[in-house]
């Protein structure tokens, strides 16, 4: 049910993007991201996981983060260079579906490097979509700021697409465990983040996106020298 709700949110986001209601379109994509994070955990908690649910979740990820998100970005900031902008959309979508296919194959082979261990190989699809929408968050937070050039948005989205299929390891929150001694600090931090997202949504998303980018850059700097040494 959560996965189907996420699909409905993604398809509706496309409709709102066509209509020019970009804020609500992005909000629906954020809701789809939250639902994507909850459906698998809830299925495991209720012991109702199934092969069909896993396939449906993967299809929902591609629809929401590989199709709806780049389409909303296209309607928002790439129509001034329609052909090149559309190539950027196609590039991002293909990178996203390749990343999801690699994850599915790796999960079936039970290889931790594919995304079932303590880290993902390349950006996860939801994180890639959120980072691709970062320029939109900036303009929502600073409405007086002019839109970035379409060519810059297209290059940025293509760069995020490359990170989706890159071999860079990205920390997976799924395997994170909080010790009893640190639970109180975790809950306090969670409350602060939740309050910031409610009160200063776009500014909080920008800050979280920049922190995530810093983590990815750090992982790349650590991984590549070690990989070269091997």
Mean pLDDT over all residues of the chain? Answer: 84
* Number of other residues whose CB lies within 10 A of the CB of residue 96: 27
Top pLDDT among 38 and 28 is at 28
List pLDDT tens digits, range 71-123.
999 999 898 887 899 999 999 999 999 999 888 887 766 554 444 456 778 88
Show the domain range for 193.
2-229
pLDDT of residue 88: 95
Q: List CB contacts of 68: < 8 A, sequence separation 6 or more.
A: 10, 11, 13, 14, 17, 29, 32
Separation of alpha carbons 224 and 220, rounded Å: 6
Q: Which residue has the tokens 């299929």?
A: 165
Residue pLDDT, tens place only, 119-169:
778 888 999 999 999 999 999 999 888 889 999 999 999 999 999 998 877
pLDDT for res 67: 95
Q: Which residues contact 166 (CB under 8 A, 6 or more apart)?
A: 122, 123, 220
The larger pLDDT score, comparing residue 65 to residue 221, is at 65
Higher pLDDT among residues 136 and 54, named by residue = 136
Indicate whether 26 pLDDT > 80. yes
* Separation between Cα atoms, residue 168 and residue 45, nearest integer Å: 30
In which region does residue 6 sit, left (phi positive, over 0), alpha (psi from -120 to 50) or beta (all else)?
A: alpha
CATH number of the CATH domain containing 113: 1.20.120
pTM reported for the whole predicted model: 0.85
Q: Domain tally for the chain?
A: 1
């Amino acid at each position: 049910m959560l996965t189907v709700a996420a699909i409905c949110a993604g398809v509706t986001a496309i409709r709102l993007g066509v209509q020019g209601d970009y804020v609500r379109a992005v909000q629906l994509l954020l809701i789809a991201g939250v639902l994507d994070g909850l459906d698998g955990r809830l299925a495991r908690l209720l012991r109702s996981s199934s092969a069909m649910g896993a396939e449906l979740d993967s299809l929902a990820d591609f629809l929401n983060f590989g199709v709806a998100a780049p389409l909303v970005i296209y309607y928002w900031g790439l129509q001034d260079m329609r052909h090149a902008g559309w190539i950027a959309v196609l590039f991002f979508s293909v990178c996203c579906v390749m990343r999801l296919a690699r994850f599915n194959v790796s999960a079936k082979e039970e290889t931790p490097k594919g995304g079932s261990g303590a880290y993902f190989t390349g950006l996860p699809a939801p994180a890639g979509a959120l980072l691709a929408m970062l320029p939109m968050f900036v303009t929502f937070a600073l409405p007086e700021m002019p839109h970035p050039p379409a060519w810059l948005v297209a290059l940025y989205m293509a760069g995020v697409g490359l990170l989706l299929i890159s071999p860079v390891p990205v920390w997976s929150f799924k395997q994170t465990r909080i010790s009893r001694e640190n639970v109180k600090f975790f809950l306090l931090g969670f409350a602060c983040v939740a309050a910031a997202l409610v009160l200063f949504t776009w500014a909080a998303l920008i800050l979280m996106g920049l922190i995530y980018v810093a983590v990815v850059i750090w992982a790349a700097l650590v991984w590549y020298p070690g990989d070269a040494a091997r």
